[in-house]
Structure 1
Amino acid sequence: MKFVSYNIQFGMGLDDKFDPVRIANSIRDADIIALQEVTRDFHRNGHADLAETFSKLFPDYSCTFGAACDVLIDHQIIEGRRRERRFQFGNMVLSRYPILATRHLLLPRSRTYDKLNLQRGAVEAVIDAPGGPLRVYSLHLDHVSPGERIAQIRFIKERVANFGREGGALTGAGQFGLPDLPFPSGYLIMGDFNMEPESPEYIEMVGLDDAFYGRVPRADLPLDALARCRAHSREGYSWMSPDRTVRKHLDYCFLSGDLAPRLKSASVDVSAPGSDHFPVWVELD
């Protein structure tokens, strides 16, 4: 199974061209896709509905979109009915396999006064994948404050760890004649974390690196797939500034320890031109 995480920067590439088709073409081989910065009615891309666009570009995939930020732009009365345009900003999961259930999780945040701070979120998808069901999370953390990112990481780790206790999206389904949903232990957390390797936020996510044993698979800490595959390097990056002078590694795929034996490869495709970020690929047996 091939997974990919891609912050698509509302469809705009480093060349400042809006081209969802080239984004889709660069991730066409993926079985499960996690997208960030998916927008609706954003003026910078001509008010495109990217959730609908990518649903159409992957017509045989299941999909779910969660708009963490939803703000009124304007409205008008058409044929006696109020019609609104709303700026929506969020995350999406597309899957070649059925998405059995989803939750849209709002991450903690605090008000800012001179820097943009949107409500951030994560989309949780329970997927009926080959080899058994698993969970996939597509998320996007704050871009300004390390402290806020740490709070968001603690929140998402708590949701992931307590998935079974919280019951996911639905329990007691039999009362309404619906099938019971699985509670898979295996998960992948994919997205734009706006943090660099070995930063305080990164350590909050995966724990400290032991000088002798490194980071071994544990029940309470996810693993960085790229690090596990020794795919991090000083020259490595997943984001580039518009003038191409600054490069940072901000995007990751973390996986549960029980999936570590199935991890085959992980990499960043820095040839993809569709965004200021680059796709992170992971393959499992």
Structure 2
Amino acid sequence: MELISWNIQWGRGAGGKVDLARTINTLRGMADADVLCLQEVTRGFSDLAGQPQTDQVAELATLLPEYRVIFAPGVDRTHRDGSPRQFGNVVATRLPVREIFRHALPWPADPDVASMPRVALEVTVQTGTRPLRIICTHLEYYSTSQRAAQAEALRDWHAQACGHARHPGRSESKPGPFTPEPRPSEAILCGDFNSRPDDFAYRRMLEPYGDGTPDWRDAWIHMHPGQPHAPTCALYDKQQWPEPPFACDFMLVSDDLVGKVRRCEVNGLTDASDHQPIHLTVDL
């Protein structure tokens, strides 16, 4: 299975131009991906830099006709004319979809900094004979306390899912919503953590559970032991990011899946966003 995660900055490249077709062409040039996990997709925020079109979810569906495009807004507001103003994450997949969860991440008050609601989009896909959970997320940038709370929530949701995997729920006598879908423990968690490797949120995600829940493992570290993280931000857009390049986008896999990882690479060549995409290959 080939998966790519990328904060696409609504298709805005380092030169300031918004071009979703360029974004998709870049992704197609990297791999024949089964799953795309995209952050910073907008509907209605056409006043963002570069002036994206009104509905990027519809644009992506047109550009990716062979994929099912699933959207989860973190910010979900409405214009006075009734049209949406949404900003969030997309999972696009050509694998069969079994179940979808849209987790609103915690957003405790932090009045000293700017912040926005954030989301984790969890999609269970069928990979051959087995299901796999894929979570696409984007943590808060400015607020350390919000980012820490969001990491805790992601850890808790993983533990809950693994609890369901160990102890499947009962069904009613007739088929319906009480008939549960299998919750696999094997999972991939990816996205823009807005967290450098020495930040609490990233380090917290990798701490052991100690209760039988498979720990999260960094696929980059697994495939490149002893090497520093390849930078995923501040390579090209020096107007937004004048500091040296750094890593803040990660690809985590559950411990029961890490042995199947065959590739984890950062594309450091494209300037089609202010972040760099990460490519994961898993044998399933």
- Considering the TM-score relative to the shorter chain, is it more than 0.5? yes
Residues 68-83 of structure 1: pairs in structure 2 closer than 5 A = 68-75=74-81
Alpha-carbon distance change, 90 to 55 in structure 1, aligned in 2, over 3 angstroms? same
Unaligned segments of structure 1, at least 5 residues:
76-83, 209-217
Count of residues in correspondence between the two structures: 266
Aligned-pair identity (%): 28
TM-score by length of 2: 0.85
What's the CA shift for 1:282?
0.8
Q: Secondary structure at the match of 2:18?
A: coil
Question: Contact 1:73 / 1:85 at 8 angstroms: preserved in 2?
Answer: yes
Question: Contact 1:174 / 1:180 at 8 angstroms: preserved in 2?
Answer: no
What's the CA shift for 1:51?
1.3
- The match for 2:130 among 125, 132, 142 is 132
- The match for 1:91 among 89, 103, 114 is 89
* Counterparts of 1:171 and 1:67, CA distance in 2: 31
Alpha-carbon distance change, 232 to 144 in structure 1, aligned in 2, over 3 angstroms? farther
Offset from partner CA, 1:97-130 (integer Å, 9 cap, x none): 1111101001111234463311001001000113
Alpha-carbon distance change, 129 to 220 in structure 1, aligned in 2, over 3 angstroms? closer
Matched, 1:53 2:59: yes
Alpha-carbon distance change, 199 to 18 in structure 1, aligned in 2, over 3 angstroms? same
Q: Secondary structure at the match of 2:25?
A: helix
Specify the alignment match of 1:116 in structure 2.
Answer: 114
What's the CA shift for 1:147?
2.4
* Counterparts of 1:261 and 1:230, CA distance in 2: 14
- The match for 1:147 among 138, 145, 148 is 145
The aligned amino acid for 1:132 is R
- The match for 1:236 among 230, 237, 248 is 230
Matched, 1:41 2:41: no
Unaligned segments of structure 2, at least 5 residues:
none
* Counterparts of 1:41 and 1:64, CA distance in 2: 17
Kindly indicate which of the two structures has a greater share of residues assigned to strand: 1
Matched, 1:224 2:222: no
Question: Contact 1:226 / 1:232 at 8 angstroms: preserved in 2?
Answer: no
Specify the alignment match of 1:7 in structure 2.
Answer: 7
Q: Secondary structure at the match of 2:273?
A: coil
* Counterparts of 1:231 and 1:275, CA distance in 2: 27
What's the CA shift for 1:148?
1.8
Q: Secondary structure at the match of 1:239?
A: coil
